[in-house]
Chain A
Amino acid sequence: MRKVPMIKKIFLFLIAGVSLLLLIAGVAGVLLRGGEKARESLSALRLEATLRITGKGAMQAYVDAAKKEASDRARAEKKTMSELREAVSKAEQDALASMSFDDVDISMIDAAPVTRAIDSLIQARMAYVNEEAAAQQAYLAQLTPDPMESSPQEPLPDELGEGMIEDIQAQPADLTKKLEGFQPTAEMLRLQAEVDDRYAGLTQALSLVYPNLSGDVFAMFKPAITSLVYMYGDTYESAYDRMLTSGGGPGLSGLDALIARVIRNGDDLIYLAVSLVIVCMVVLYNKPLIKKLGPPRLIIGSFFVLLCLISLLFDMNLQALLSNTLVRVGMNGVLVLAMVPAIKCGISLNLGLPIGVIAGLLGGLLCIEYRLTGWVGFAFSIAVGSAIAALFGYLYGLLLNRLKGSEMAVTTYVGYSFVSLMCIAWLVLPFQSLELRWPMGGGLRNSLSTSTSFLRLLDNFLAFNVLGMKVPTGLLLFMGLCCYLVWLFFRSKTGSAMQAAGSNPRFAQAAGINVDRMRIIGTVLSTVLGAVGIIVYNQSFGFIQLYNAPRAMGFIAASAVLIGGASTSKAAISNVLIGSFLFFGVLTLGMPVANTLLPQSMISETIRILISNGIILYALTKSGGGTRG
């Protein structure tokens, strides 16, 4: 057992104590949500909010009356327009001053009848809302069998690839559109009448409080108040938030307010407690953790946990975000995997991955050109892409064999110049399909939809929902299959020879292994995986992106595998899995969280630049140097 310093001990005890307190409070809060106390506090808030809304109306009515009186009097005295205006505004100010809104002291009013009226309104409203939801559900169910209606409405991701996050928010608008033809049922109308009836009861109770309110004003407040008291799928949290935004805050005071707040934020308190426990653990075990994981993984892992917690604190849909992460991991996984054979065969990080990517793109383009669809198209793209990639990879490997020792700088620029060369090629290649070409002028489009070929084929294969998360089974299975094949390859005779050639070329040469041949095989494998990877990426992303889009692919894949714990000379399949999850998890969670914390900012993009390049720099500093001084 290591000795823990005194200060650290005190710090740990403090944190542990705080987290225990938070945990107890949080659990109590969550448990109390269905209880009597919760109902009481909500009812007090509701009363306050209702009175506030109507109180505002009452004041407005009073002021209006004063204004009207002033203007009538001025008109009777035949004053000029400007004098009249002055008189009216003076009357308004007087009225406002004489009857400040806060003067309506709610504790002085006999609230019991109002509370009773609100309770009965809630009952009616609840029945109505539930009936409405059921009826709409039935309506939608009867709509969906029409396949022509729903299938072309696939939400289209935008250029930057953040589309998957957008489409969560796009759904409500979609729903309203579909519900356009919806007619209320007879049962709904009956329940609505009941609601109206109860509302009339409430107005009676309220008019005792505010005698100067007319029927018109009550009619005006009807939608506001009925939707205030109950909404579909209401929980304690949503009701509490709604009451607070409607001005119900002062309804509770002192201890009651605190208890209500604890009940409302119970889950957040639990999350905080958990995160404090994690902090404790990290502080206590930081040395072994750093040794085991290395600082980058520890930092990025904690960042990932932090993002999860923040998204929970802001009541974001963590399940949706996590299932997006899974999709991202699946769609980029094969590209990340492409780094493994490259690192193992001794050419270090394959920053020339765009070469493989372009081969894959060519496969995808040919698939669209020949109008192949579904699994056939997907298999065709992979086959053609791999074949082209194998050719490119072979030539690329020949080049790399002449450049032993400084591959990375060269591969980067070879990759870059190949991408720009292909930019010219995209302009002149003789593709015919109008799906690919601009209708006017020459050249292929910037991004081509895969909706006619193999859109989300893998994503939707055997996909299922669990705990509110959509799991893209096919995508993950495919990635798993690729990982398994690569793993299997490195267990084979060629594979082990390649590893030997990569880790110690001279020794391998002496042992009779053809190092150059092994390097070529590794490069070809990496390039082919790049081609397969981009097709998987495209089928999930929904678009094939040409021109400068492939340029960054090598860096993204390299950062991911390095975050997973690989170095420039060592890599394993586990690095791919861990790295993909952490890197793409941080990217997927980072954007919505950043947008909540700092709206309209580019900070998530900045963070991506920092993480992605920072990890490569870190790997480079570990790659040697220094000793050769």
Chain B
Amino acid sequence: MGDWNVKTFLRNNAVTLMFVLLCVVFTAYSGMSPAYVAFELISRIARNGFIVLALIIPIVAGMGINFAISIGAMAAQIGLLWVLEWRITGITGLVVAAGITVPLATLFGFLAGKLLNKMKGQEMIGSMILGFFANGVYQLLFLFIFGNVIPLNTPGLVIKGSTGVANTMNLSGPAQLLYALDGLLRVRFELPGSSPAASGGTAGQNTFILPLLPTFYVLAGLAAAAALSMYLKKRVSLTKFVVIMSAAVLAVVAVQFPAVQSVFSMLSLPVATFAVIAALCLLNVVLLRTRLGQQLRAVGQNRTVANASGINVDRTRIIAIIISTVLAGFGQLIFLQNIGNVLTYGAHEQVGLYAGAAILVGGASIARATNSQALLGCVLFHLLFIVAPPAANTLFGDPGIGEYFRVFVSYGVIALALVLHVWKGAKAKKVIRAAKGAQGI
């Protein structure tokens, strides 16, 4: 990092930094307690994190943000519909729904990939329009096929007197799909100097209560030990080692203050969900190290070169879209089991937009994305979602402005990221051209 300077850092991370600033200002003006913000944020990350991570593979393959992940979400909703119809409850139901999602999403992803191969260079607008188009097919399916041609018997799925599947499918109640994954294992924290009951903790089923301070010590110790061993094996640089060590120390120091401790008072970590998200992060890393991963990267960097080196470009791109679509289906299942009811005709519509905006906020571009960018983006984007309406209420006296503001931010950040990306590309070309000119070529 020899040529690291403030200016390039600012330029390369403009979107993320702007977002951090916005989040800080809005959180300050929102008037919400840190404990509540943390509580909301954790549940939002748990339910949205997976689907944002599903965007990484197509970006690596050079196809930009796959806005057609809404197709995966549709596949997941078809799966859920049949799980509800067959009355399979709880985590079994969720697994069966995921089982239905896999072949459906594979098929849809295959078709989407085929189509996107015909519009190389225009994948983003193409996948966006494809998402709209698929929504039409989905409506056809849910309004005129399910419940009419293929009868549904479970009460509540079809409403008499109207055509098609009901507007909402309820996952709570007898379906027992609400928190099917989240509720498998939860962890709450016991603040020092208070009994579990006093911290608002009702130790429900599958909920474990850990003392806050010792947990922190153990985690910080583990991180430090891992960093040390990695450093000794020369797997990480000195800078990174120092950063991790100081972060661990800082965390241990910070958690001594009651103000910081209170942030954890309401938290209820859905450990199983986070484990699934972590597994996906791992999968992304491992996958990109395999042969297929190399091919994906090669195709993403330069299709012509990849083609010349014997990679089947079209096939690789289709695989990328299939993976992304299937993962998006799982992500939508995680999202819906947390929400508890499915807006049959709306739950999938904004999936691509919000996930795309989130990953861009984290500093990813439409050509490069990593797990950490996706997760950071998820945190920042959803933090803004939580604090924007109350902050707008304090600042302008109208919560409606906050509502519109966050929609504006979602679209605006995508527009900005696209503009910056194309801009950078044009500049790089200019630099190359100038260099060529200087050499007299």
Contacts and interface: CB of A to CB of B under 8 A. Distances in A.
A442 B398 contact: yes
B239 interface: no
Contacts of B426: 402-404
B206 interface: no
Contacts of A423: 404, 407-408
A424 B422 contact: no
Nearest to B422: A403
Interface in B399-417: 400-401, 404-405, 407-408, 411-412, 414-415
A427 B398 CA distance: 9
Given A412-B125, A427-B398, 5 more contacts: A405-B121, A600-B163, A605-B139, A609-B133, A625-B122
B163 to A, nearest CB: 5
B120 A629 contact: yes
A602 B407 contact: no
5 contacts: A410-B418, A413-B418, A442-B398, A605-B139, A609-B139
Contacts of B168: none
Contact of B411 (A413, A428, A623): A413
Contacts of B262: none
Given A600-B162, A617-B115, A617-B130, A413 B423 contact: no
B396 interface: yes
A610 B418 CA distance: 27
Given A413-B418, A420-B411, A423-B407, A610 B133 contact: yes
A416 B133 contact: no
B125 A626 contact: no
Nearest to A620: B119
Given A423-B408, A625-B119, A413 B139 contact: no
Nearest to A601: B163
Secondary structure type dominating chain B contacts? helix
A412 B419 contact: no
Contacts of A609: 132-133, 135-136, 139
A578 to B, nearest CB: 22
A387 B124 CA distance: 33
A395 to B, nearest CB: 13
B85 interface: no
Interface of B: 64, 115, 117-122, 124-126, 128-130, 132-133, 135-137, 139-140, 143-144, 162-163, 303-304, 307, 313-314, 396, 398, 400-401, 404-405, 407-408, 411-412, 414-415, 418-419, 422-423, 426
Nearest to A616: B129
Interface in A566-604: 598, 600-603
B129 A606 contact: no
A406 interface: yes
A622 B426 CA distance: 25
A443 B133 contact: no
Contacts of B408: 417, 420-421, 423-424
A428 B162 CA distance: 40
Contact of B419 (A403, A419, A424): A403
A351 B122 CA distance: 14
A219 B120 CA distance: 79
A614 B133 contact: yes
B29 to A, nearest CB: 16
Given A423-B404, A613-B132, A620-B129, A606 B139 contact: yes
Nearest to A602: B143
A74 interface: no
A413 B129 CA distance: 12
A127 interface: no
Interface residues of A, number: 46
B144 A601 contact: yes
Contact of A606 (B118, B130, B140): B140
A625 B423 contact: no
B318 to A, nearest CB: 13
A85 B115 CA distance: 73
A293 B345 CA distance: 35
A209 B119 CA distance: 79
B407 A402 contact: no
Nearest to B141: A606
Given A423-B404, A427-B398, A610-B137, A628 B422 contact: no
Contact of B122 (A399, A404, A620, A629): A620
Contacts of A404: 426
A231 interface: no
A417 B139 contact: no
Contacts of B423: 402-403
B121 A628 contact: yes
Contact of A617 (B120, B129, B411, B422): B129
Given A409-B122, A598-B163, A629-B307, A424 B415 contact: no
B32 to A, nearest CB: 22
Contact of B412 (A399, A420, A621): A420
Interface of A: 351, 399, 402-406, 408-410, 412-414, 416-417, 419-421, 423-424, 427-428, 442-443, 598, 600-603, 605-607, 609-610, 613-614, 616-617, 620-621, 623-626, 628-629
Contacts of B405: 424
Nearest to A627: B120
- Complex A-B, nearest 4 residue pairs according to Cβ-Cβ distance, in ascending order: A609-B136, A625-B120, A420-B408, A413-B415
Contact of A621 (B119, B121, B125, B140): B119
B423 to A, nearest CB: 6
Q: Which of A406, A421, A616 has the most CB of B within 10 A?
A: A406
A402 B422 contact: yes
Contacts of A607: 136
A621 B118 contact: yes
Nearest to B415: A413
Nearest to B161: A600
Given A427-B404, A625-B118, A610 B125 contact: no
Contacts of B117: 625-626, 629
A310 B143 CA distance: 22
B129 A613 contact: yes
A126 B264 CA distance: 87
A344 B189 CA distance: 63
A617 B414 CA distance: 21
A397 to B, nearest CB: 14
A621 B133 contact: no
Contacts of B135: 609
A215 B184 CA distance: 80
B162 to A, nearest CB: 7
A205 to B, nearest CB: 46
B115 A621 contact: yes
A434 to B, nearest CB: 19
Given A402-B422, A621-B118, A420 B415 contact: no
Given A600-B163, A606-B136, A626-B118, A409 B412 contact: no
Contacts of A420: 404, 407-408, 411-412
A600 B117 CA distance: 39
A615 to B, nearest CB: 10
Given A412-B128, A413-B418, A606-B140, A629 B411 contact: no
A416 B415 CA distance: 9
Which one of A351, A406, A409, A414 has the greatest number of beta carbons of chain B within 10 Å? A409
B142 to A, nearest CB: 10
A510 B130 CA distance: 38
A610 B411 CA distance: 24
A298 B265 CA distance: 65
Residue among A351, A408, A606, A626 with the highest chain B CB neighbour number at 10 A: A606
A256 B127 CA distance: 61
Contacts of B314: 629
Given A413-B418, A443-B400, A606-B139, A624 B411 contact: no
Nearest to B163: A601
Contacts of B401: 424, 427-428
B415 A410 contact: yes
Contacts of A626: 117-118, 120
A417 B411 contact: yes
A351 B411 CA distance: 14
